[in-house]
Structure 1
Amino acid sequence: MRYGPAVRRRKLGAELRRQRELSGMTSREAACAVGWHQSKVSRIETGISGVKPADVARLLDVYSVFDPDLRALLGALCGADPAGSGSGGGSRRGWWYAYRDLLPSAYLDFISLESEASHARTLETTVVPGLLQTPEYARAVTRAALGDPPAEQVEALVRVRMARQSVLAKERPLELCAMLDEAALRHEVGGPEVMAGQLEHLLERAALPHVRLHVLPFSSGDHIGITGPFVIFSFPRIADLDVVVLDHLTSSLYLERQEDLRAYGSAFTTLRAHALSHENSLDFIAGIKDGS
């Protein structure tokens, strides 16, 4: 059986392999220590097969990894509930599991990574980021993206989007740095009233200490951001778990190679040089909202 979305399995497998190598053990020695066939350890480390939270705990015991934060993170990557992660992690599924029949696997991957990341850097060129949307705005975006789907499907997807925003309110909230093209602020999604509420909500969210907004005004001219939106997820303490997500209409592309991560990280840094500061961005958004 596979436990957890594909991207998360690969990330978990790579880190378990790293911890085994740091312990000085071969995959055969690790397998013998926990009573498995070597092929099972290999499948886990390559992300072909998933692993239960309890089995992650057994491997970490064998590798003498007792750091509670690291164990909690790796437990979360295999589907354990981070809030109940003790030494080996809990076994409760994420809240999004209830929507598994509604959401495509790529979206489930995205939500699971977002829920466990410590930092997110995102560029949006046409819409407000999902973590900062109002229900009304999210409803209008969903209808437009899916071509007037059934009302019950729209409401379910809006509930998912609102539930995702819990990452900004948890004990250790996601550190979000959002780059917004001016077009995303000018396009009246859902009409003037919905858009006015969305701009006000942006200003409220930006007051959180862990949310930073940067606007790329039209006057910034040509920049690398015109090639399209992307998200970079970073994870606590383990840079090798970072991933870039490129969203398309029908799918998402996950980039995990170090050269891709460096390229997109550099692109984001370059974009910040073109963008307004956080404080000036808030003034800019307020000006649009007030019609000035």
Structure 2
Amino acid sequence: MQKPGVSGRGARASTVLGRRLGGELQQLRLAAGMTQQQAAEYLSATATKVVKMESGWVPVRDPDIRALCQLYGVTQSKVLASLLDIAKTDRERRKVRGWWDDSMLPGGQAGYIAMEDAALRNRQWQVALIPGLFQTAEYTRAMGVADMPWEDVDQIEAVVAVRARRRQRLYGDAPLQMHAVIWEAALRQLIGGQAIMRRQLEHLRELADLSNVHIQVLPFWAGGHTGIGGPFNILSFGEDEAVDVVHMDAPRSEIWVEDAERSAVFVEMFNGLSRKSLSPYDSMQLIESIAKGMSE
């Protein structure tokens, strides 16, 4: 768990969705054999504006997207609809100040939480830990204690409070659709001791009753698998996977995969892990068995 810091977003900042949109516009321009100057002239704008659009530094208006698609010879309505969907979500994210902006958060977590708040669906693979949205306060606190030294031990409670606020995305009228595949190791790792882990596993069982939560366990006996390299999240922002971006935590940093070709690799990897895992029912049976085996 990283130490808290402050991170924010503004209208004139490079965002994940902005870079995704800009990258797709750039690919369409290059496929059409056109320069940024030609695109700028068609928009009656400067080349600098096109550079900023393709770099994700500024929000992109729908008329500009429609004009560029016309210039680049894009005739597929699905492509245009996808671009407009990304642009709309990006503009909404830039102008909204979220509760996380005033929270004490690890370095890049404000950006991730903003994305999580906008997402419709989260597919998550976890190797060693319980997914953040599924963690009990005691589990999160135990992780923080283990990650000493802290400059101020009260910062742990700030992280616990943020995690609790994030869990609200699982409830309400339009809850996040969550599909988590968890390696068995995460269920047996004694974070905070047996009592805390037993309560954590019982909480997973309670969450599984939610219609928007889908939990599977990849058991040890399943053997080798493609996810051994580390955990990742796939965030989707539109119907029919109009936008998929992948997020991965690295030591003291984070990695975003934003282009369609590379994100598709992670989608296929997740689908393979899901197919290799236990069914949701059998997963709950294993979780309950592990929980019952934990006693003081």
* TM-score normalized with structure 1 length: 0.78
- How far off its partner does 1:279 sit? 0.8
1:103 and 2:111 correspond: no
Please name the residue that 2:58 is paired with: 50
Q: Which residue of 1 aligns with 2:284?
A: 282
Retained in 2: the 8 A contact 1:119–1:235? yes
- Number of the residue aligned with 1:257: 259
CA distance in 1, matches of 2:100, 2:283: 33
Residues 161 and 98 (structure 1), Cα distance of their counterparts in 2 relative to 1, 3 Å cut:
same
Unaligned runs of 5+ in 2: 1-9, 30-37, 69-76
One-letter amino acid of the structure 2 residue matched with residue 103 of structure 1: P
Go from structure 1 to structure 2 and tell me whether the alpha carbon gap of 1:70 and 1:211 turns closer, same or farther (over 3 Å shift).
farther
Post-superposition shift, 1:9?
A: 2.4
**In structure 2, distance between residues paired with 1:237 and 1:10:** 20
Q: Deviations over 1:87-124 (max 9, x none)?
A: xxxx431221113x6431x3222212211222211111
Take 2:43 and 2:148, find their aligned partners in 1: how far apart are those partners? Answer: 47
For 2:62 and 2:259, locate their aligned partners in 1 and report how far apart those are by CA, in whole Å. 27
Cα distance in 1, alignment partners of residues 177 and 100 from structure 2: 21
1:141 aligns with 2:143: yes
Instruction: Name the CA distance, whole Å, in 1 between partners of 2:113 and 2:194.
Output: 30
AA partner of residue 93 (structure 1): R
Computed over aligned residues only, the root mean square deviation of the Cα atoms, in angstroms, reads 3.3
One-letter identity of the residue aligned with 2:91: C
- In structure 1, runs of 5+ residues without a counterpart are 21-25, 82-90
Q: 2:91 aligns with which of 65, 78, 88?
A: 78
Among candidates 20, 31, 40, match of residue 11 of structure 1: 20
Residue of structure 2 equivalent to 1:28:
40
Q: Is the 8 A contact 1:205 1:211 kept in 2?
A: yes
Question: Helix, strand or coil: the match of 1:121?
Answer: strand
Secondary structure of 2:239's partner? coil
More displaced 10-residue stretch of structure 1: 241-250 or 126-135? 241-250
Equivalent in the alignment of 1:159: 161
User: 1:15 deviation in Å?
Assistant: 6.5
Query: Structure 2 CA distance, aligned partners of 1:166 and 1:73?
Result: 24
Percentage of pairs with the same residue: 33
The 1:160/1:12 distance shift into structure 2, 3 A limit, reads: farther
Q: Which runs of structure 2 are paired with 1:176-187 in the superposition (5 Å)?
A: 176-187=178-189
1:93 aligns with 2:100: no
Q: Judge conservation of contact 1:181–1:216 (CA < 8 Å) in 2.
A: yes
Q: 1:189 aligns with which of 188, 191, 199?
A: 191
Q: Counterparts of 1:207 and 1:197 in 2: how far apart (Å)?
A: 16
Aligned residue in 2 for 1:245: 247
Q: C-alpha separation between the residues in 2 aligned to 1:170 and 1:18?
A: 38
Q: Residues 8 and 77 of structure 1 are in contact (CA less than 8 Å); yes or no, is this contact kept in structure 2?
A: yes
3-state SS, counterpart of residue 127 of structure 1? coil
**Which of 196, 211, 215 is the aligned partner of 1:213?**
215
Normalised by the length of structure 2, the TM-score is 0.77
Question: Could you tell me which amino acid in structure 1 is paired with residue 110 of structure 2?
Answer: L
Structure 1 stretch displaced more, 217-226 or 126-135: 217-226
